[in-house]
Chains A and B, each alone.
Chain A
Amino acid sequence: MVLMKKKWQRRHIVEAVIKSVMQFSLVVVAGALGLILWTIISRGLPALSWDMVTKIPEGGYYMGKGGGILNAILGSLYLAAGGTFLAMVFSVPIAMYLKTYLGESKWGNYVRLSLDVLWGIPSIVYGAFGFTVMIALGMRASLLAGIIILALIELPIMTRAMDEVIRRMPVDLEHAALALGSTKFEVALRVVTRQMLPGITTAILLGFGRGIGDAASVLFTAGYTDRIPTSLMRPTASLPLAVFFQLGSPYPEVQQRGYAAALILTVIVLVISLGSRWLSSRLNKYTIK
């Protein structure tokens, strides 16, 4: 009986109210994702055509004539793949060094701090930085410059993603290897690398997803062109900028294609994001926890 009375105390009402407000805000956040996807799909799908993904812009494309955005799709794939590869070359050794040699030491935490800070620098600042370097070197907008800037943007993301995974490696494994007389480098090469595999896969896909969607930095460094790039020194188109430029057009047909380009970009990014979850959960089976 006493319990029944307690149920109607003020604090219990507050509890119920707060809880439902929280559930509501969770629904709002999840609903935002649904709303974005629905908007992009419902506006992009009608404008999507086979020509969009198989042709480069023809004459008068930006006034509503025929063609597609193959140049931007390929350009974006080149940029993101190149940037991710370059970032990986640097991020794998850094993540390994953080694990095997630095651990939780002071310098290790400085490196982690600077990676986190780099992560927070907006891509427009990277773009402006790339631009200053290009002026100094007398370079013009090119695929190579875009790849380098994207690699700088992806580096902290990929390194921290690997670091977070590899930090969870049991210390026993390392100790066992060290007890057998291996050097730290051998531990890094033979033990840590294998445990790192799911981390590396996640990091690659994360970096790629970030690279393919980045617009502000590529605007400065890679330029835009209607051709498919044939060399590293040529400018290249990219999907985010294709979306952006086509939406800025006064012609409704061109704007429609901008929505379709946004849909293509979203699909690529979502496939990568879901793929990385699936892949890392599969690869996680083979690591020792």
Chain B
Amino acid sequence: MNQIEQIDIPQVIEKMTGRTTRPVTTSRARQDNFARRTFFVFTLLPVLLILIVTIALLARSWPILKAYPLSDLLFGTVWKPTNGQFGFWPFILGTFWVTAVGVLLAVPPCILTSIYLAEYAHTKLRSTAKPILDLLAAIPPVVYGVWGLLAIVPFVDKVLAPLSDRWLGSVSIFSVNQPTGFGILAAGIVLAVMIAPLIISVMYEIFSTVPNDLRHASLAVGATQWQTIRNIVLPQVAPGILAAIVLGASRALGETIAVLMVVGNIPQSPTSIFDSAYPLPALIANNYGEMMSIPLYDSALLSAALVLLVIILIFNILSILIIQRMLRRKWS
């Protein structure tokens, strides 16, 4: 918010007195220069790493991109590597369904929770909620997977599926065709819990950028707190909230082990949230063992990783740029 401008003191003195204050040839200055250059090389690493990862994956997936037209790969529906048929469409659909269900389930409670923490909660509650979110974020994906297997899959199988069959059976996306519990809904629930801590903490941070003066002005003219939030706070932070959701979605897109354990892994075009699916990350993880034995198989799987990477990079860069802008916004 009100960040103090960084002042380069030697430069200021230089401007005031008209001469350089720091002799540039002392050994200390040389040491400083050397350190500056070394440190600079280190900061190249993260920037270059993104490029290197992309290029390496592109290079390995080049053979299959050359052998088949891109539209055949992306929209082909048959996956039979032994026959040389590589259609990613069922896997892309699977990824999309699982992510969509996860995000749709996560967003409403996340928005409400972060509003509550930012606008209503006392300091004491806030300082208890933070460690809980940190713990949720620290739990490894495989543990989420075990939880999904032990708690969510039976819950979907025994409770949600019969309920949905009874009341919503005629609506095709809620119909129960494969009653095992494993499927998109189970994966979506697990994903929703996994991405919630990230979404909540980003949203919370964005809510706290809105200056209190705006809230006070609204409350002073007699608005209730919810009216203040809806009419004053939310319009200010709307882009940031959207960005937080996109960030959460990109996390969900790449989640591998936890999803793999509960989604059923059947390559098909799902029509209902109770259907099994086979998302891209699960495809890569499940087949790494035999991918060197069939021609073009490794290339196909690594191009799946490339597709995933490109989508996630786009999602990530967009949402992080918006969030950074919102956090740095100056209120005069």
Contacts and interface: CB of A to CB of B under 8 A. Distances in A.
A120 B38 contact: no
B142 interface: yes
B143 A266 contact: yes
Interface string B38-63: 11101101110110010011011000
B109 A215 contact: no
Given A39-B151, A175-B9, A185-B31, A117 B139 contact: no
Given A30-B132, A247-B146, A262-B143, A109 B35 contact: no
A165 interface: no
Contact of A22 (B42, B120, B298, B317): B120
Contacts of B255: 122
B80 to A, nearest CB: 21
Contacts of B113: 22, 25-26, 29
B117 A269 contact: no
Contact of A19 (B47, B120, B149, B317): B120
Nearest to A217: B256
Nearest to A126: B53
Contacts of B46: 94, 111, 114-115, 118, 155-156, 159
Given A26-B113, A215-B256, A118 B49 contact: yes
B42 A36 contact: no
Contact of B196 (A29, A40, A247): A29
A116 B6 contact: no
Interface string B119-152: 0100000000101111110111111111101110
Interface string A17-35: 0110111011011101101
A200 interface: no
Interface string A105-131: 001011111111110111111111101
A216 B144 CA distance: 14
Contacts of B173: none
A251 B6 CA distance: 64
B100 interface: no
A179 B22 CA distance: 11
B32 A122 contact: no
Interface in A86-115: 90, 93-94, 96-98, 101-104, 107, 109-115
Nearest to A43: B150
Specify which of B6, B147, B196, B225 lies most central, judged by the most chain A CB atoms within 10 Å of its CB: B147
Nearest to B125: A26
How would you classify the secondary structure of chain A's contact residues: helix, strand, loop or mixed?
helix
Interface stretch (A8-16, A59-67, A228-236): A8-16
Nearest to B36: A101
A110 B147 contact: no
B256 A152 contact: no
Interface residues of A, number: 93
A29 B147 contact: no
B56 A185 contact: no
A119 to B, nearest CB: 8
A165 to B, nearest CB: 15
Nearest to A111: B43
A275 B202 CA distance: 23
A111 B47 CA distance: 6
B211 interface: no
Interface of B: 3-4, 6-7, 9-10, 28-29, 31-32, 35-36, 38-40, 42-43, 45-47, 49-50, 53, 56-57, 59-60, 108-110, 112-113, 115-117, 120, 129, 131-136, 138-147, 149-151, 193, 196, 200, 224-227, 247, 250-251, 253-257, 261, 281, 284-285, 288, 298, 301-302, 305, 308-309, 312-313, 315-317, 320-321, 324
Interface of A: 11-12, 14-15, 18-19, 21-23, 25-26, 28-30, 32-33, 35-36, 39-40, 43, 90, 93-94, 96-98, 101-104, 107, 109-118, 120-129, 131-133, 135-136, 152, 155-156, 159, 171, 175, 178-179, 183-186, 188, 209, 212-216, 219-220, 240, 243-244, 247, 258-259, 262, 265-266, 269-270, 272-274, 277
The 4 closest A-B pairs by CB, nearest first: A122-B254, A213-B140, A97-B39, A183-B32
